[in-house]
A and B are shown apart, each in its own frame.
Chain A
Amino acid sequence: MRVTPRYSWLPTPYRSLLLLLVWLLLNQSVELIHLFFGTILALIIPWISGKFRDPQPLIERPLLALRYILLVFGDIVTANAQVAILILGPQSRLNPAFVRVPLDLQHDLPITILASTVSMTPGTVSADVYPCHDTQPGDAEITQRWLLIHVLNLEDEADLIATIKSRYEAPLKEIFQC
């Protein structure tokens, strides 16, 4: 895991790329002037705002991150269809439950991404992460953190936990190398 950026003038290269992309999408053109101005903004904004952020793990494997995004997009479509069927089906057959998933991830950014993914995908909404801790340097080390999720229709708890861990958490661990 790497926290300090490679170049101090470019603290978060992928965030800069994303900012440039957003700027081009907003203007809906790839003319030279927009490319130029977008590049300047994409360099300056992370450079200024980087000092106000807590240091977080950086993306080490961009291609894997791209693959993860595509995987999540595909899962959103299937999960939506599933939830639509569950909503329209008979309610007495639903089996709602709270489930606790043990986390291997320790840092806030990867956990946030995991929690958001869990909320968007298979019939689950992430509810809480505990124990919460302050990211003060010199704080006691984190032992084990849990993600509390609410499941709309629980079929097999162990299976669900294993799916979340292998399908979403493992790639995140690869991407951030932690």
Chain B
Amino acid sequence: MQNWMEWAVAFFLLLGGCFVLIGSIGLSRMPDFFMRLHGPTKATTLGMGGILLGSIFYFSLLQSVSVHELLITIFLLITAPISAHMLIKTALHHQLRAIERTGGERELKKGQQEGSPDTKKALAGDDKP
């Protein structure tokens, strides 16, 4: 393998690693559950993309063309928002509290109430513009 190829592979691996690390830092550093979700859903996706790009480069240059890493990227892009959505819906259902300065308190309450079917009927007429 040529020198510059090693540089390219190393660059993508390091870039990906950095973003995954930042996503994990966000997970532990943010003050409340809703803010914690942002790190793993976004930064980690790009990080995985970088690592998989490095993998594509490495195996394509070493052996024959290798593209099935693209599938991992596609499936990750499809599943990451869904899992984030399920987590945040669960948080709303359990009426988790956001930190004090979170704006849109009314919207949060509404989202939490909509989670339970009993209050849905009571709120149905409330939304008319």
Contact of A98 among B23, B26, B104, B127 (CB under 8 A): B104
Q: What 1/0 flags go to B16-31 for Cβ under 8 Å of A?
A: 0001001101100111
Q: Which residue of A lies closest to B99 (CB)?
A: A96
Chain A residues 120 to 145 lying within 8 A of chain B, measured CB to CB, are: 120, 123, 125-128, 130-132, 143-144
Chain B contact residues (Cβ within 8 angstroms of A): what range?
Answer: 35 or more
What is the bound-complex CA distance between A98 and B108, given in angstroms? 6
**Contacts A91-B31, A119-B85; A80 near B68 (Cβ below 8 A):** no
Q: Does B80 contact A (CB under 8 A)?
A: yes
Among B65, B68, B128: residue with most chain A CB under 10 A? B68
Q: Would you call A98 and B85 a contact (CB within 8 A)?
A: no
What is the bound-complex CA distance between A128 and B104, given in angstroms? 14
Q: Which residues of A contact B31 (CB under 8 A)?
A: 91
Q: Does A100 contact B (CB under 8 A)?
A: yes
What is the bound-complex CA distance between A119 and B38, given in angstroms? 9
Q: Which residues of B contact A127 (CB under 8 A)?
A: 34, 85, 88-89, 92, 111
Q: Which residues of B contact A105 (CB under 8 A)?
A: none
Contact of A87 among B39, B70, B92, B103 (CB under 8 A): B39
Cβ distance A141 to chain B, nearest Cβ, rounded Å: 13
Q: Does A146 contact B (CB under 8 A)?
A: yes
Q: Which residues of A contact B66 (CB under 8 A)?
A: 28
- Which of A2-10, A40-48, A147-155 binds B? A147-155
Cβ distance B117 to chain A, nearest Cβ, rounded Å: 10
Cβ distance A130 to chain B, nearest Cβ, rounded Å: 4
Q: Does A26 contact B (CB under 8 A)?
A: yes
What is the bound-complex CA distance between A127 and B35, given in angstroms? 12
Q: Would you call B25 and A95 a contact (CB within 8 A)?
A: no
What is the bound-complex CA distance between A88 and B67, given in angstroms? 33
Q: Which A residues contact B (CB, under 8 angstroms)?
A: 22, 25-26, 28, 76-77, 79-81, 83-84, 86-88, 91, 94-100, 115-117, 119-120, 123, 125-128, 130-132, 143-144, 146, 148, 150, 152, 154, 157
Q: List 8 tightest A-B contacts by C-beta distance, closest first.
A: A97-B103, A98-B104, A119-B81, A80-B46, A87-B26, A116-B81, A98-B107, A130-B114
